[in-house]
Amino acid sequence: LSFAFVTQGLAGEKCKNITIEIMQKHIPFSFPPDTKIISQREVGGLCEVIVNIQGRDLPIYVGKDFIILGQMFSNKKNVSNEEVKKLHSQKFLSLKKDIDKAVAITYTPSSTAKHAIYMFTDPLCPHCQKAGNQMEEIAKEYNVKVKVVFCPFRGRKNAIEAVCRNLDFSTYVKGDWKKEGKTEKSQCKKGQELIETSIKLAKKLGISGVPTFYLENGKIVVGANIPQLKEALAELTGKKEKKKF
């Protein structure tokens, strides 16, 4: 409720009385019944409305007699994307305790590691595999824990298997375990419940693709963007990123 109050409080006059029903009048299709407004603010003389539609947060720009579906750019920056990321960061921080309970695998590079990064991943995602293979080295470089939370768009049974077999991080990211043919026999109740919980949390966060990384401070890095991830970790830990010449 407090979050809703804050976002509404920044809305301004342009967003006054904007509702799902008002926006519905301007589009030739129907919003799904569970569509919700999660944020409103004035941008460029319009009301930017972030709506959650079937788990995805999408920007809509509302004028006096029209609406625009899409993203807004200003000075080479994606204004819409930055606002959605900000909202997702706030969601993450509000759900952090629940997310910690949904962590399936943790890699701790040393006993002095104080910070953590959360990797939302799918065992059958090739980009996740690529990023995962670099995470041990990155964790050691910045001395951060890596917490794996499954968001399986394709590999649900494989994710359950990883939990039920109690795989360590090195074994998991190497990936050879997926070729051992133990998936169907490794579908325990504990794994099923954990993956069900993590999927629900991923939906609440609006995660639509993996890998997605959340730093403990809510900073988001989408995709296997290792340079951006290292930059965010350098900022979090205060450690300068190594530059290659």
Token pair for residue 78?
């994606």
> pTM higher than 0.95, yes or no?
no
- The Cβ of residue 21 has, within 10 Å, a number of other Cβ atoms equal to 8
pLDDT of 245: 44
Question: For 58-113, what is each residue's pLDDT tens digit?
Answer: 899 999 889 998 888 988 888 888 888 888 899 899 999 999 999 999 999 999 99
In Å, how far are 6, 41, 54, 239 from 35, measured between CA atoms? 20, 18, 7, 42
Question: For 34-57, what is each residue's pLDDT tens digit?
Answer: 899 988 999 888 999 999 888 788
- The Cβ of residue 26 has, within 10 Å, a number of other Cβ atoms equal to 14
Question: For 186-236, what is each residue's pLDDT tens digit?
Answer: 999 999 999 999 999 998 888 889 999 999 999 999 999 999 999 999 999
pLDDT of 4: 34
In Å, how far are 198, 211, 229 from 131, measured between CA atoms? 20, 8, 10
